[in-house]
Amino acid sequence: MLRIGLFLATNLAIMLLISIVFQVLGIEGILAANGVDLNIQALLLMSGLIGFSGSIISLLMSKWMAKRSMGVHIIDNPSNSTESWLLATVQRQAEKAGIGMPEVGIFDSPTPNAFATGANKNSALVAVSSGLLQQMDRGEVEAVLGHEVSHVSNGDMVTLTLIQGVVNTFVIFFSRILGHFVDRVLFKNERGMGMGYFLGSIVGQIVFSLLANIIVAWFSRQREFRADSGGADLAGRSKMIGALRRLQYAQAPQPLPNEFAAFGISGGGLKELFSTHPPLEVRIRALESGR
């Protein structure tokens, strides 16, 4: 119920904020003076509907997409001691974190990585790569699992879905505004939606999407610090630091698909503004300082 309430409140707040800003700046009057027959309230509603629908549908499909795109093998009946240990470790951590037992899986990748996903913290998925199991000792793997279980218990998938819905709304709304402005004010089109509208909307959506990705990435980086702290609580601070140090020495992990990147364990790249993870050295320093 709390998450549904947060979703509705966020959606309402963003549309209300945009309406106030447009009224204060007098943009509606400028558009009307140039013959723009644009219904701001209807556009806000449409933008919010499209923006949040896309992010919510992605969340609901996240487990299914993960299993298919990453080739995740779900451990139903453990076939060896490693799989038995993985299940027992995740079960112990899930009980300590107060969530339902996630599905546990392994995906084939030579580089160490892991992710968590799912629309509900009581029916999530935690998956690790074969490379992670091969290159880390059990204490380090335990810390990585704790990091992912913390993502689940913190509700990070839902939180970032709501944030994505907000920025989606901004992107759609302002790109359509730009399209109308270009079509009516610059191209002087007086009827319907001409070429200027489509060109302006496309360019606006590309530019605003890039800016929106910076915002989403920033929020994701903050959630990573929380997940590191949670992993330290579940597995031990020294193990969590050891796991991050191991990643520093490992070959740079291949990026996860976009829909799972924010919930992985790997460090950020050179383009820090667009990175979903803080640099590993920054995460290690945060843990060493007790944050």
Instruction: At 130, list the tokens.
Output: 């074969």
Q: What are phi and psi for residue 81, nearest 5 degrees?
A: -65, -30
| Half-sphere exposure (Cβ direction) of 96: Cα atoms closer than 13 Å | 16
190 is catalytic: no
Please give the single-letter amino acid code of residue 60: L
What CA–CA distance (Å, rounded) separates 254 from 109? Answer: 9
> Cα dist. 266→43, 196, 243, 246 in Å?
39, 42, 11, 11
What CA–CA distance (Å, rounded) separates 267 from 257? Answer: 15
- Which of 142, 148, 224, 259 does the annotation list as catalytic? 148
Which residue in 57, 67, 64, 70 sits closest to 161, CA to CA?
57
| Active-site amino acid positions | 148
